[in-house]
Every structure is written in C-alpha cells, then in structure tokens.
Amino acid sequence: MGIWRGSLPLLLLAAAAAAEPASTLEGPSWPVTVPLREDRGHAVDLPDTDPRVQRRVTGWAPEQIAVALSAAPTSAWVSWITGDFQMGGAVKPLDPGTVGSVVRYGLAADSLVREATGDALVYSQLYPFEGLQNYTSGIIHHVRLQGLEPGTKYYYQCGDPAIPGATSAVHAFRTMPAVGPRSYPGRIAVVGDLGLTYNTTSTVEHMASNQPDLVLLLGDVSYANLYLTNGTGTDCYSCSFAKSTPIHETYQPRWDYWGRYMESVTSTTPMMVVEGNHEIEQQIGNKTFAAYSARFAFPSKESDSFSPFYYSFDAGGIHFIMLAAYAAYSKSGEQYRWLEKDLAKVDRSVTPWLVAGWHAPWYSTYKAHYREAECMRVAMEELLYSYGLDIVFTGHVCNVTPSDLQYL
C-alpha cells in the first residue's frame, strides 16, 4: 500500500510443545512473539536488474517453485513454472502440453520412489488499447501429492523427467502435524502486503531466519498493478497515471520477479495465499484476478469451496478459514453459504482453535482505509462470532494494529 508496501511486520506465533494447548473457549493465552529488527531498509522496488529476480534457469527447467497445503496434512501441492513469459503487442501463449507436470518424492533425497502428476496452464494479461503491451506467462504447473504422513519431512523433485534438463534440484518440506487438539505447528508466519521492495527483503530474511512451519500471506502480493505495461512504476498509480491511461495497467513480469525472489522460502515452507485489492488486475473483457488464480495452488476442491478466493484447511489443532474480501460475500452468495457449511463441520474437540484470514480489516482507525470492508463485516461477523472465532489476521492497513476483542 503506497510507499510502505513490503514493510508490514510479520508475526511469528510459537506454540509451546510442552504445555497443554489452550483455546479461547477456556480462556485467552498470550502468544510468544519474536521481535522484529529495527532496520527496515528502503521502500524502493527491486529493479529487474537485481540478480535475485532474474531468470536463473534455462530451457524447460522449473523455476518459481512453491509448496502449498491441502485441506488435511496428508496432502500438499507443489507448483512451478517452466519456460519464460512473453511481452509485446502480439503474444502467442505457450502450449501447456509441451512439458509434463511430474513430482517425484520420498523420505530421503536419494530415494524419490513415489510419483504424482498434475495439470498445467498458461494465462495472459491482455489490453485492447493501442500502445499497451500484452503478456503471456510461462507454463504453470500444479501437482497434488497425496497419502503423506503428517509431521514428516518429504524430499521432492519437480519437472518433466522425460526431457533432459527439465527437472529441478531436490527440495524438501515438512507436512503439518496430525489433526488433533494436542498437535500444533511450531511457528506460523503471518505477513501481508509483501510486494517486492527492499523492505520485502528484510521482512523475508527475518521470516526465514525464524524457520516458520507455515506462512500465511494475506493479499497484495507482487504489486504488479503499480506499473505501466512498459515497466514504468510508481508508489501511487492513481496519482501518477490514472488520468493518462485508458485502463489500470499492470506489468506482469513483476509476478515472475516475485516468484523467483521468493523461491528459497516457498520451495521449502508451505505458503497459503488469499487475494488482496492489488490482485484484481482488470484486463480485456473485464477479466480480473488472472495472475492470482493461475499462479497459486489452493485447497479449493478439497475444502469444497471450488474457489481460489476462499477455502479452509487444518494444521494440527487449528482450523484455518481464508475468506475473500473482493468476491461476493452477501448472505445470499456462494461464499457465505460455503462458510456456513464449513463452520458447521468444525469439531472444536479436534481443532480447538478457529483462525481466519482475509485482506481488508473490519476494524481500523487508519483513515485511508477506514470502514472499507464494512459491508463484509455486516454480512459475516455475526456468523463467525456465533461459532467462536478465535483470531483474525488481515493486511491492507500497513501499520501494526492489534485490537482487543471486537463485536458490535
């Protein structure tokens, strides 16, 4: 959000394994918070000349590798991109069938004895206006690994083993603890409005140094929509460009830069993402959220939402619900009906903690975004309150704003 993107402090929650896990059904307990270092760097975007955002692979070798959770700890998603993006007035999408979507995995780096296959796609960002550049992505792969053991480290290699040079190095991630009231992730990193600035680098370095088991990213990911299609960026699009452009442009390569920079984290630590306002990215035919919907894997089918904008998953004794602040949330809509069903299935004797995340906060005194999500609050707050929601994490307001118990 403006010049502060990438600087929203992250919160690392440490669960004490020796102590009996508490629930707010019994009474509040204080989390352990890791202090953030004082030096936050400069709120300046990483340029495309920075080696950390440049393409470091050749041919069909995978890049931008990421792990995401499924609805239960016995399953996880692996995603990556092969081939490079294209920019220009006329772009021709790559054929997703050119290269396979295969993950080989196992319990040791030299024993990848299991194999899973998945799906591939490309997306385009197109503008029907003279002088604007269009974009089409590399081939994006999503593969779901199933039959995993909870709380277990798995090694994996992704790509297409039938093509020379088209597989990745071996990476590893750990599945979430088994679902149950005495089993919890050790640390969960919560971050929002990350962007790709020098503030981003200090935030990510701090996060990685604390070795979280899971990352929640609460929207506003790459800020590609603060750029024109020619790569010219600004801290405030409406201030700089709104009167001179026929549509709110984006520079989609910023997504690829972000995926490359984040790979060292996302390839080893599961990251769950929900959309923010900077992911809307309108294009031809009023299509929106193309990059967000294509680039990330979501447990949409597994949690019965069938939507990339809202879904749920379990991690030990926590049931997480990720909600959409930028999709229909009225009581007659699909998201609300899904939320009712999801909440009704939660067994608090199995998952004592009920935690939700979305982008825009319902309660904030920050005047730039004051009551922006009031309609969502009016629609959903009573339902969440009736099921005893314990914690809400949001982004959007790029200031630290912890709140007391709220319900009006």
Write the DSSP symbol of residue 308. Answer: S
Cα–Cα distance list, 8 to 96, 150, 192, 217 (Å): 36, 31, 6, 11
Instruction: List 171's β-bridge partners, or say none.
Output: 156
366 phi, psi to nearest 5 deg:
-70, 115
CA distance 277 to 196: 16
What value does the CA radius of gyration of the chain take, rounded to a whole number of Å? 21
DSSP-derived pairing of the beta strands 102-106 and 119-121: unpaired
> Phi-psi region for residue 165, left (φ > 0), alpha (ψ -120 to 50) or beta?
left
Residues 94, 106 contacting (CB under 8 angstroms): no
Give the residue numbers marked as catalytic: 369
Residues 34, 12 contacting (CB under 8 angstroms): yes
Length of the chain: 408
Q: What share of the chain is helix, strand, coil (3-state, %, to 5)?
A: 20, 25, 55
DSSP letter for each residue of 90-111: S-----GGGS--EEEEESBTTB
The distance of Cα 188 from the centroid of its chain, to the nearest Å, equals: 14
Write the DSSP symbol of residue 177. Answer: P
CA distance 61 to 56: 9
Q: Which of 259, 195, 214 is nearest to 66 (CA)?
A: 259
